[in-house]
Structure 1
Amino acid sequence: MRKNSIKNTRVNGEVQRELSRIISREIKDPRIAPMTSVVAVEVAPDLKSCKAYISVLGDEQAQQDTLAGLKSAVGYIRRELARTINLRNTPEIRFVLDQSIEYGVNMSKLIDDVTSSLSEDDRDD
Structure 2
Amino acid sequence: MRPERIAREMRDIISGIISEEIKDPRIGFVTVTRVEVTPDIRNAKVYFSSLGGKEEKESAAEGLNSASGYIRKSLSEKMRFKFTPELLFRLDESAEYSIHLNQIFDKIHKEKEKKDEPA
TM-score (norm 1): 0.78
Aligned to 1:88, the other structure's residue is in SS state coil
Write out per-residue CA displacement over residues 47-92 of structure 1, whole angstroms, 9 at most, x where no aligned residue: 2111111112221001110011001111110111001012111100
TM alignment of 1:105-124, pairs within 5 A: 105-108=99-102
Cα RMSD after superposing both structures: 2.4
State whether residues 32 and 69 of structure 1, in contact with CA within 8 Å, keep that contact through their aligned partners in structure 2. Answer: yes
State whether residues 54 and 98 of structure 1, in contact with CA within 8 Å, keep that contact through their aligned partners in structure 2. Answer: yes
Deviates more, 1:73-82 or 1:19-28: 19-28
Identity level (%): 38
1:69 aligns with 2:97: no
Aligned to 2:52, the other structure's residue is in SS state coil
TM-score (norm 2): 0.81
Deviates more, 1:39-48 or 1:82-91: 39-48
Matched residues, number:
119
1:94 aligns with 2:88: yes
* C-alpha distance in structure 2 between counterparts of 1:57 and 1:111, whole Å: 24
State whether residues 53 and 96 of structure 1, in contact with CA within 8 Å, keep that contact through their aligned partners in structure 2. Answer: yes
State whether residues 57 and 102 of structure 1, in contact with CA within 8 Å, keep that contact through their aligned partners in structure 2. Answer: no
